[in-house]
């Protein structure tokens, strides 16, 4: 399976926030660990971490951070695991759409590190240590886009 290749970036001087949903906490803690590893490897140590109850609440936290200003990117982490009802689709769609709206409205890189999995096994595979950790991917994407936005703006 092909995976995205992210640039190794120097993030020194960047201000990054991470929003983590507590629901499915074992999974989201793994995502947070992966994201923090990537951010620290890039030279970012002053990282604001905001915890919210679940993935549905991630967009309002991201919106509030964006309105406050002073950030180069927001990394959003959560886990939505399919159950027997359509609730999975409502939560994952609302979260995805909400984060897209925040990013476009504010011109702020918002990375989508919200796992949408068919089952707990898939979610654990995507939140464990190693390259498949979606928290790592989300942090790397946020760094790359923060650098790209700075480049485009000429700052």
State how far the Cα of 73 lies from the Cα of 79, in Å rounded to an integer.
Answer: 20
Active site residue 106: no
pLDDT 10s digit of each residue in the chain, 155 long? Answer: 455 566 678 899 999 999 999 999 999 999 999 999 999 999 999 899 999 999 999 999 999 999 999 999 999 999 999 988 888 899 999 999 999 999 999 999 999 999 999 999 999 999 998 889 999 999 999 999 999 999 999 97
Q: Which of 3, 87, 89, 106 is catalytic?
A: 87
Tell whether 5 is covered by a domain. no
Number of domains in the chain: 1
Tell whether 8 is covered by a domain. no
Residue of 12, 18, 94, 91 whose CA lies nearest to 45: 12
Residue 18 CA: distances (Å) to CA of 87, 114, 119, 134, 145: 25, 12, 24, 13, 15
- Any known ligand binding at 85? yes
Tell whether 1 is covered by a domain. no
Tell whether 91 is covered by a domain. yes
Tell whether 83 is covered by a domain. yes
Contact between 44 and 101 (Cβ < 8 Å): no
Tell whether 94 is covered by a domain. yes
- Helical (H) or strand (E) element with 33: helix 25-41
CA angle (135, 51, 131) in 5-degree steps: 10
Tell whether 6 is covered by a domain. no
- Any known ligand binding at 88? no
Contact between 120 and 82 (Cβ < 8 Å): no
State how far the Cα of 20 lies from the Cα of 77, in Å rounded to an integer.
Answer: 5
- Any known ligand binding at 125? no
Q: Which two tokens stand for residue 149?
A: 């936005």
- Any known ligand binding at 21? no
Tell whether 11 is covered by a domain. no
Domain limits at 61? 16-150
CATH number at residue 46: 3.40.50.960
């Amino acid at each position: 399976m092909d995976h995205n290749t992210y640039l190794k970036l120097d993030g020194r001087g960047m201000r990054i926030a991470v929003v983590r949903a507590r629901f499915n906490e074992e999974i989201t803690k793994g995502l947070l660990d992966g994201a923090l590893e990537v951010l620290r490897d890039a030279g970012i140590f002053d990282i604001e971490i905001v915890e919210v109850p679940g993935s549905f609440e991630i967009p309002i936290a991201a919106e509030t951070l964006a309105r406050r200003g002073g950030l180069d990117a927001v990394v959003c982490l959560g886990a939505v695991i399919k159950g027997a009802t359509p609730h999975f689709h409502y939560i994952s769609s609302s979260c995805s759409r909400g984060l897209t709206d925040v990013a476009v409205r504010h011109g702020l890189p918002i990375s989508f590190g919200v796992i949408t999995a068919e089952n707990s096994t898939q979610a654990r595979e995507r939140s464990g240590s190693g390259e498949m950790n979606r928290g790592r991917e989300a942090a790397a994407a946020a760094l790359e886009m923060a650098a790209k936005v700075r480049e485009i703006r000429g700052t």
